[in-house]
Chains A and B, each alone.
Chain A
Amino acid sequence: MSIQAIEDSKVKAFPKPAKPAEVIAFTAKVRRRFDPAAIAGKLASTLVPPAVVIAVMLVIWQIACSSPNASLPPPSQVWNEAYDLIAHPFFDYGPQDIGLAWRVLISLQRVAIGFGLAAIVGVALGALVGQSIWAMRGLDPVFQILRTVPPLAWLPLSLAAFRDSSPSAIFVIFITSIWPVIINTAVGVRNIPEDYRNVSRILRLNQLEFFVKIMVPAAAPYIFTGLRIGIGLSWLAIVAAEMLTGGVGIGFFIWDAWNSSRLPDIIVALAYIGVTGFCLDRLVAAVGAFVTRGTTAK
């Protein structure tokens, strides 16, 4: 759980790193205007360095784990023994014998439900906390304490409450990812310039119109920062939760592989998890960049 603790501290240390999302979108737009040669050059300069690093790491790993009494399998062994997992992500041989892509999709489905709920509730609560000084005084201390509770500490309680593993896992996702959404939304709402509020007052916008037309767009960069941290946390939490609750997700697959000593399978699963987490992060960032375009520009 130490990884989660670090990730969690990000929430507090950088409450408003609203910039990354926009920066990505901007460079992407500019790049499109360049000629193909420049694109190829840029592509090479972004792809070649990580490829070299990965190759070097694989070589070191291969050498380090090649001795007969090594405790972990070298890459070559992973490739040979887990080849069907790597090459056929979508096979389906029965209820517990399915490709890793299916497992990832099942985990993603849980994340989608839990994180989706967290996003909706989180933005609403964050707006309340950001808007009302009394809501902030009452709720903020509670949030600050609850958000430090590690995700898996919620699991026994939610198992007791829901009496089923799948909603429990979803609840763990929800409770893990909601805090950064709430806190960032609240900061964003608190930072809405007074002028925008005056505009809405002169136009006599009602609460709902203010929320939809001013508050959400004005706080969008902050909200998406929270969502981005939240999706990262939920992906961390789902793997851990599934290891304990079972089922067919990617987390349980790792636990199952460990129990039957299939170390190469675990390594392949880790690669899947890492790539998926990366994609999720970039997906939220891209959505954020699209939605908030123009918002922060003065």
Chain B
Amino acid sequence: MTAYLKLDHIDKSFARGGQVSEVLKDIRLTIDKGEFVSIIGHSGCGKSTLLNLIAGLTRVSAGAVLLEDKEVDSPGPERAVVFQNHSLLPWLTVYENINLAVLKVFGSTRSRAERHDWIMRNLDLVQMAHARDKRPAEISGGMKQRVGIARALAMEPKILLLDEPFGALDALTRAHLQDAVMDIHSRLGSTTIMITHDVDEAVLLSDRIVMMTNGPAATIGEVLAVPLARPRRRIELSSDRTFLRCREAVLKFLYERHRFVEAAE
């Protein structure tokens, strides 16, 4: 079986004012269908750049991103992104925000009623159907992020890309949303890649954790499989030996072997 998503020897460098800075070097990774993969690393290690490459928002300098053996060279709805700051359009209601995506993706294949049902189904999935006529400014940060997830899911993506989706949220809201994402993943089996800098979050949610070395020219340092059965419950896991072992492995990688040194150069 060939890999669903394949990152094939990817390099990425940015040229600015004659100076070329290498951000990512020789990234090799394959992800199977339905897998939940987290990418973790210190800030500045190019995690977000990697996600943008998979999304197609930036182009690779060398190598290729292959989704079902087809090269990714531009952004598209089959690789939906949930942005850290939700990126909902403030002049549209929750419903209209999702409708914008649904209309574009399914405008020609589904009837108006089908599209409406689909929007409501996705809103139900993130438990936001009650706020369908609210504008983003009228709902809380966690709710906005839920809507952002619903919008991404409504595109029926092959891969769901989460760019530090819970980074701006408080701990309690964060836990709620992590549970919601786990629930959605188990129900839809969506292939998901999540950027995070939270070790617990990575272990709790992921099938595999991709740990990045520090930049410049960051690469994948280690890939850790998390052999925890699903569904996972955070309270039970807090004393689970496998969970703790995985957690320790990630912590060791981040804080012993690849300690983040401020202004390393």
Pair A198/B100 contact, Cβ less than 8 Å: no
Task: Give 1 or 0 for each of A261-295: 1 = CB within 8 Å of chain B CB.
Answer: 00000000000000000000000000000001111
C-alpha spacing A273/B265, complex, angstroms = 67
Contacts of A213 in B (CB 8 A): 100
Chain B residues within an 8 Å CB radius of A157: none
Q: Is the C-beta of B80 less than 8 angstroms from some C-beta in chain A?
A: yes
Determine the interface band of chain B, counting residues with CB < 8 A from chain A.
Answer: 20 to 34
- Counting CB contacts under 8 A, is A188 at the interface? no
A298 to B104, Cβ gap below 8 A?
A: no
Contacts of A47 in B (CB 8 A): none
- Are B135 and A294 within 8 A (Cβ)? yes
A196 touches B89 (CB 8 A): yes
A202 interface contact, C-beta 8 A: yes
Question: Please, which residues of chain B bring their CB within 8 A of the CB of A201?
Answer: 57, 74-75
Return A50 CB to nearest CB of chain B, in Å: 34
Q: Which of A196, A214, A217, A294 is in CB contact (< 8 Å) with B137?
A: A294
Main secondary structure of the interface of B (DSSP, over half): loop
Q: How far is the CA of A81 from the CA of B57 in the complex (A)?
A: 72
Q: Are A202 and B91 in touch, CB under 8 angstroms?
A: no
Instruction: List chain A residues, Cβ under 8 A from B83.
Output: 195, 198-199
**A32 at the binding interface (Cβ < 8 Å):** no
Which residues of the other chain, B, contact A298 by a CB distance below 8 angstroms?
90, 137
Contacts A195-B87, A201-B75, A203-B100 known; A297 to B80 CB distance under 8 Å? no
Query: Provided the pairs A198-B57, A198-B83 are in contact, do residues A204 and B89 lie with their beta carbons within 8 angstroms?
Result: no
Residues of B within 8 A of A205 (CB): 104
List which A197-211 residues lie within 8 A (CB) of chain B: 198-199, 201-205, 209
Decide: A202 and B100 in contact? CB cutoff 8 A: no
Interface string of B81-100 (1 = CB under 8 A from A): 10101010111000000001
Interface assignment of A148: CB less than 8 Å from any CB of chain B: no
B189 within 8 A of A: no
Q: How far is the CB of A201 from chain B (nearest CB, A)?
A: 4
Q: Given A196-B89, A198-B57, A296-B90, A203 and B137 touching (CB < 8 A)?
A: no
Q: Judge whether B224 is part of the interface by a CB distance below 8 angstroms.
A: no
**In the complex, B125 has a CB within 8 A of chain A:** no
Q: Are B75 and A202 in contact (CB under 8 A)?
A: yes
Count of A interface residues, CB-CB < 8 Å: 23
| Contact digits for A15-46, partner B, Cβ 8 Å, 1 yes 0 no | 00000000000000000000000000000000
Q: A294-B135, A294-B137, A297-B135 are in contact. Are A202 and B90 (CB under 8 A)?
A: no
- Distance between Cα atoms of A203 and B87 in the complex (Å): 13
Question: Judging by beta carbons under 8 Å apart, are B105 and A203 in contact?
Answer: yes
- Per-residue contact bits, chain B 131-156, to A (CB 8 Å; 1 contact, 0 not): 00001110000000000000000010
Closest to A214 in B: B89
Q: Output the least CB separation between B119 and chain A (Å).
A: 15
B104 touches A203 (CB 8 A): yes
Q: Is the CB of B85 within 8 A of A195?
A: yes
Q: A198-B75, A198-B81, A203-B105 are in contact. Are A294 and B57 (CB under 8 A)?
A: no
**How far is A203 from B152 in the complex, measured between Cα atoms in Å?**
10
Chain A proximity of B48: nearest CB distance (Å): 12
Compute how far the CA of A202 lies from the CA of B57 in the bound complex, rounded to whole angstroms.
Answer: 8
Residues of A within 8 A of B220 (CB): none
- A195: nearest chain-B partner, CB-CB: B87
Chain A residues whose C-beta falls within 8 Å of the C-beta of B100 in the assembled complex: 203, 213
Chain B residues whose C-beta falls within 8 Å of the C-beta of A202 in the assembled complex: 55, 57, 75-77, 79-81, 155
**Across the interface, which residues of A come within 8 angstroms of B75, CB to CB?**
198, 201-202, 204
Contact across chains for A295 and B76 when beta carbons are under 8 A apart: no
Residues of B within 8 A of A (CB): 55, 57, 74-77, 79-81, 83, 85, 87, 89-91, 100-101, 104-105, 135-137, 155
- 19 additional contacts (CB under 8 A) given A196-B87, A203-B100: A201-B57, A201-B75, A202-B75, A202-B77, A202-B79, A202-B81, A204-B76, A204-B77, A204-B104, A217-B89, A217-B91, A218-B89, A220-B91, A293-B91, A294-B91, A295-B91, A296-B90, A297-B90, A297-B135
Q: 19 A–B contact pairs at CB < 8 A?
A: A195-B83, A196-B89, A198-B75, A198-B81, A198-B87, A201-B74, A201-B75, A202-B55, A203-B100, A203-B105, A203-B155, A204-B77, A214-B89, A220-B91, A292-B91, A294-B90, A294-B137, A297-B136, A298-B90
Q: Which residues of A are in contact with B by a Cβ distance under 8 Å?
A: 193, 195-196, 198-199, 201-205, 209, 213-214, 217-218, 220, 292-298
